[in-house]
Copies of this chain bind each other. A is one copy, B any other.
Amino acid sequence: MDTTNGLEILQHNLLSEVKAFFDSAPPLKDSNEVSEKLKEFIEGFSTSQGDGRAERVVCVTSGGTTVPLEQRCVRYIDNFSSGHRGATSTEYFLKAGYAVIFLYRRGTCQPFCQSLPDDPLLEWFEPTSESNIQVREQHAKAVKRAIMKHHAAVADGRLLKLSFTTIFEYLQILKQIAMETRCLGTHAMFYLAAAVSDFYKPWKDMAEHKIQSASGPLDMQLSQVPKMLSVLRKEWAPLAFCISFKLETDSRILLEKADMALKKYKMHAVVANELSTRKEQVVVVTGNEKVSVRRDKNHPGDDVENPLINLLLERHSTYIEDSDI
Q: Are A247 and B210 in contact (CB under 8 A)?
A: yes
Interface residue A157 (Cβ < 8 Å from any Cβ of B) = no
**A-B interface, 7 closest residue pairs, ranked by CB to CB distance from nearest:** A198-B213, A72-B249, A218-B222, A209-B250, A199-B218, A209-B249, A220-B220
Check if B249 sits within 8 Å of A210, measured CB to CB. yes
Q: Which A residues from 121 to 148 make CB contacts under 8 A with B?
A: 121-122, 125-127, 131-133, 143-144, 146-148
A250 with B210: CB separation less than 8 A: yes
What 20 new A-B contacts, CB under 8 Å, besides A133-B147, A198-B218? A69-B77, A70-B249, A72-B276, A74-B247, A75-B77, A75-B197, A76-B78, A76-B80, A107-B107, A113-B122, A121-B146, A122-B146, A122-B150, A127-B144, A132-B144, A208-B249, A210-B250, A217-B224, A218-B222, A220-B222
Shortest CB distance A96–B (Å): 22
Instruction: Give chain B residues whose Cβ lies under 8 Å from the Cβ of A276.
Output: 72
Residue pair A218, B218 in contact (C-beta under 8 Å): no
Distance in angstroms between the alpha carbons of A213 and B223 in the assembled complex: 10
A72 vs B277: C-alpha distance in the bound complex, in angstroms? 13
Query: How many Å from the CB of A25 to the closest CB on chain B?
Result: 18
B126 near A151 with CB under 8 A, answer yes
Which residues does chain B contribute within 8 Å of A213, judged by CB atoms?
Answer: 198-199, 224
Tell me which residues across on chain B come within 8 A of A217, comparing CB atoms.
199, 221-224
A73 close to B (CB within 8 Å)? yes
Partner of A125, one of B76, B147, B208, B210: B147
Can you list 15 A-B contacts (CB < 8 A)?
A66-B78, A72-B276, A76-B77, A77-B77, A121-B121, A121-B143, A121-B146, A121-B147, A122-B146, A122-B151, A126-B151, A127-B144, A133-B147, A210-B247, A218-B220
Distance from A14 Cβ to chain B, minimum over Cβ atoms (Å): 15
| B118 and A106 contacting across the interface, CB-CB below 8 Å | yes
Cα–Cα distance between A78 and B68 once the two chains are bound (Å): 9
Q: How far, in whole Å, are A219 and B69 apart by their CA atoms in the complex?
A: 14
Q: Contact flags (1/0) for A222-257 with B, using CB distance below 8 Å?
A: 111000000000000000000000011110000000
Given contact pairs A217-B222, A249-B209, A127 touches B106 in the complex (Cβ within 8 A): no
Which residue in B127, B199, B220, B221 is a CB contact (below 8 Å) of A147?
B127
The interface of chain A, by Cβ under 8 A from chain B, is 66, 69-70, 72-80, 106-107, 110, 113, 116, 118-122, 125-127, 131-133, 143-144, 146-148, 150-152, 195, 197-199, 208-210, 213, 216-224, 247-250, 275-276
Q: Which residue on chain B has the smallest CB distance to residue A249?
A: B72
A163 to B198, CA, bound (A): 29
Are A78 and B80 neighbours in the complex by a CB distance under 8 Å? no
- Measured between alpha carbons, how far is A245 from B88 in the docked complex, in Å? 40
Chain B: minimal CB distance from A264 (Å): 10
A319 vs B195: C-alpha distance when bound (angstroms) = 50
Q: Which residues of B contact A107 (CB under 8 A)?
A: 107, 118
Given that A217-B199, A217-B221 are contacting pairs, would A126 and B147 also be in contact in the complex, using a CB cutoff of 8 Å?
yes
